[in-house]
Structure 1
Amino acid sequence: MLRFGVIGCGYISHVHVNDIVNNLHGAKVTAIYDINKSAAEQMIDEFDLGIEPSKSIDELINSSEVDSVLVFSKNDTHTEPILKALAIDKPVFTEKPLATTTEEAKQIVDAEVKKGKRMIQVGYMRRYDPYYQELKQTIDNGEIGTPLMGYCRHFAPAPTTNDFQTSDVINDSFVHEISVVSWLFNDDYKSVQVQYARPNSTNTAAGLKEPQVATLKLKNGAIVNTYLDINSHYGYEVKCQVIGETGIAELPDMPSTRVHKDEKIYNSVPLESGGRFEKAFQLEFQDFIDHVSTGKEPTGPSAWTGYTVTFTANKALESLKNGQIVDLEFGQKPDLYK
């Protein structure tokens, strides 16, 4: 039984801990830390874990009761626990992003390369979504010919808080498209460009400027546009369409039951990503458990993937300042990730 130490007790932590306790097999939570002790205590009570909150990150990571560390804390606090876990050979599953700065992301990659084995998996869960996997298989099988361009949509009903910032559109939303598009097209990026669309007058977050339109160009020449809207009102929706030389492949409009009633045809739309990607969350974590618990290296999105996404996201923020195209060059990919 793999023993997890959990750092951070926010929304996504509840999603994952609920799955570990109720839906997955081969692992349990044996330690929890949050900078807000009461948040850790509430999670312990909610899932009847029968443990006491760890007093610090160091205590949790160094505990003899912890085999692997799960990092679910704020985006800009991931680097310290990841590096400390790596230093004592404890595998890490970290929610996205790997880090918020390119320098810290590269520092993590370098530390893992020195270990000579993969020990980190980053929570870009769309690669585990059955619909994205089917889309990937359709492309790889050549059913639509060579992929030429694509279109993505990432909509949320409202900002999660009134403190939601313009940069969060990139760092919390667009990073998922950055991760999955290169995977679907099997190529690295050449450039990124982000522009503002007409402002949404219903937006109540003072620090948020959106919608945004992001363009990724791959080295093979393919171009993919992503439309980002954090005030869609109607629900959380993700769309992806890939246009090939001989056909088009796309995700279903909404993977839920379609109802015909009262002169209408409609689908329900979830309000949070957990509803749309529930199965993907479970599959990614079970895969991590299955590999790590048997002494194998994790095979999900790697630290290198995390680094390239962070690199691209930061260049996207640079582009957002003036709407210009920004070139991308990640440097040499270490053999560990080839």
Structure 2
Amino acid sequence: MTVKLGVIGTGMIGTDHTRRIQEVLTGAEVVALYDYLPENAAKLQAAHAPGAKIHETGEALIAADEVDAVLVCSTGSTHESYVLGAIEAGKPVFCEKPLATTAEGAKRIVDAESAAGRRLVQVGFMRRFDQGYNMLKATMESDLGTPLMIHACHRNAAVPEHYVTPMAIHDTFIHEIDTFRWLLDDDFVSAQVIFPRKTRHAHDKVADPQIVLLETSKGVRIDCEIFVNCRYGYDIQCQVVGEEGVADLPEPMAVATRREARLSQPILTDWKSRFMAAFDAELQDFADRVPSGHVGGPSAWDGYVAAISSDACVTAQETGAIVDIALPDRPALYD
């Protein structure tokens, strides 16, 4: 069976996902497109999906008989309504992060999916499909004993002028929020954010760098540096300290060279390149599960918890206080 997918939002990530579905993955094809700028949809259609129909609205795409499942790649403020529409239509939906722009919106999605009685929503936290993170998780569970601490960092070479301080949480650290929960099988109970000396490379609207401190319900302590103007490249680090040993996230594969009296190795500058294989794997997993009517991967509940946790981190940014993180009871659907 070839799964027929509709893509809502044909910007950078929607275009990249359409390309990988059409040219890299197996068992799926893009048959429908929608973008609020029709010329963008037409451009993507010509480049990667010549057989796809361009719809006038996202709602029309979701309702189309030829669409088996939906990819929501539009701007974050539209995610909630499109995901709710897909759930109402009984169609599996892959939603790029954020699941919704507020925790209340994410909760409405969790409630709707719970009422439907089956997992229909997969959230685009692609790091769970990254080979390096899966190697790190396997090593944690087999060799390190009880985890005690995590030291991590998320560095970007630079960010644009519209990037402001809360975006360091909602747009950048949000991936670590989900990844740490998944690595530890644990939830957070508090968050604190502290600000070291500001780099001269940061513009006036962003405090950079910053350090997020988290505590989990099992007592694990996490510190993560967010430095979005580090200049030298895109760099993701994660070290887990356990009772029996320490493990580090593997570096991306790269060729070391000896030249002109230097031993060197290139550093990536683009997040899309760093996690390309993970993006491929998460969408292949989604497509493979659609025929069953149930999806896997990061769930709507994971998206909801990430929203609650990120809101607490932003409050910690603004107040300088240690902020409690309290979660509601998890619905049975996500046990």
Same fold (TM over 0.5): yes
Letter in 1 for 2:132: Y
Letter in 2 for 1:307: Y
Match in the other structure for 2:157:
157
Task: Decide which of 300, 305, 320 is 1:303's aligned counterpart.
Answer: 300
Question: Can you list the C-alpha shifts for 1:103-149, whole angstroms capped at 9, x where unaligned?
Answer: 001000000000111000001011110110010011111x0111100
Q: Give, in whole Å, the separation in 2 of the partners of 1:3 and 1:13.
A: 15
Matches within 5 A, 1:77-156: 77-141=78-142, 143-156=143-156
Please, which runs of 5 or more residues in structure 1 have no aligned partner?
A: none
Q: Give, in whole Å, the separation in 2 of the partners of 1:153 and 1:254.
A: 15
User: Is residue 29–residue 49 contact of structure 1 (8 Å, CA) maintained in 2?
Assistant: no
Q: Give, in whole Å, the separation in 2 of the partners of 1:43 and 1:219.
A: 45
Q: 1:201 aligned to 2:195?
A: no
Match in the other structure for 1:3:
4
In structure 2, the residue corresponding to 1:243 is in which secondary structure? strand
In structure 1, the residue corresponding to 2:193 is in which secondary structure? strand
In structure 2, the residue corresponding to 1:78 is in which secondary structure? helix
Q: CA deviation at 1:13?
A: 1.5
- Identity percentage of aligned residues: 37
Matches within 5 A, 1:264-279: 264-279=262-277
Q: Give, in whole Å, the separation in 1 of the partners of 2:315 and 2:151.
A: 22
Letter in 1 for 2:305: T
Letter in 1 for 2:154: H
Q: CA deviation at 1:271?
A: 1.7
Q: Cα 1:48–1:71, aligned 2, differ >3 Å: closer, same or farther?
A: closer
Q: CA deviation at 1:48?
A: 4.1
Letter in 2 for 1:315: A
Letter in 1 for 2:141: D
In structure 2, the residue corresponding to 1:226 is in which secondary structure? strand
Q: CA deviation at 1:282?
A: 0.6
Q: CA deviation at 1:265?
A: 2.0
In structure 1, the residue corresponding to 2:39 is in which secondary structure? helix
Letter in 2 for 1:152: A
Q: Give, in whole Å, the separation in 1 of the partners of 2:197 and 2:251.
A: 24
Extract structure 1 runs of 4+ deviating beyond 4 A: none
Match in the other structure for 1:327:
324
In structure 2, the residue corresponding to 1:166 is in which secondary structure? coil
Task: Decide which of 269, 286, 310 is 2:284's aligned counterpart.
Answer: 286
Q: Give, in whole Å, the separation in 2 of the partners of 1:33 and 1:194.
A: 39
Q: Give, in whole Å, the separation in 2 of the partners of 1:48 and 1:109.
A: 32
Match in the other structure for 2:309:
312
TM-score normalised by the chain length of structure 1: 0.96
User: Is residue 9–residue 72 contact of structure 1 (8 Å, CA) maintained in 2?
Assistant: yes
Match in the other structure for 2:73:
72
Letter in 2 for 1:149: M
User: Is residue 6–residue 32 contact of structure 1 (8 Å, CA) maintained in 2?
Assistant: yes
Q: 1:60 aligned to 2:61?
A: yes
Q: Cα 1:154–1:22, aligned 2, differ >3 Å: closer, same or farther?
A: same
User: Is residue 145–residue 246 contact of structure 1 (8 Å, CA) maintained in 2?
Assistant: yes
Q: CA deviation at 1:253?
A: 3.6
User: Is residue 12–residue 72 contact of structure 1 (8 Å, CA) maintained in 2?
Assistant: yes
Q: CA deviation at 1:196?
A: 2.1
In structure 1, the residue corresponding to 2:333 is in which secondary structure? helix
Q: Give, in whole Å, the separation in 2 of the partners of 1:337 and 1:280.
A: 23
TM-score normalised by the chain length of structure 2: 0.97
Match in the other structure for 1:178:
177
Q: Cα 1:29–1:57, aligned 2, differ >3 Å: closer, same or farther?
A: same
Q: Cα 1:50–1:317, aligned 2, differ >3 Å: closer, same or farther?
A: same
Q: CA deviation at 1:52?
A: 4.1
Q: Give, in whole Å, the separation in 2 of the partners of 1:156 and 1:123.
A: 20
Letter in 2 for 1:288: F
Q: Give, in whole Å, the separation in 1 of the partners of 2:255 and 2:18.
A: 28
Question: Can you list the C-alpha shifts for 1:141-171, whole angstroms capped at 9, x where unaligned?
Answer: 1x01111001111111111x32112221111
Please, which runs of 5 or more residues in structure 2 have no aligned partner?
A: none
In structure 1, the residue corresponding to 2:237 is in which secondary structure? strand
Q: Give, in whole Å, the separation in 1 of the partners of 2:15 and 2:226.
A: 26
Q: CA deviation at 1:198?
A: 1.6
Length, aligned pairs only: 334
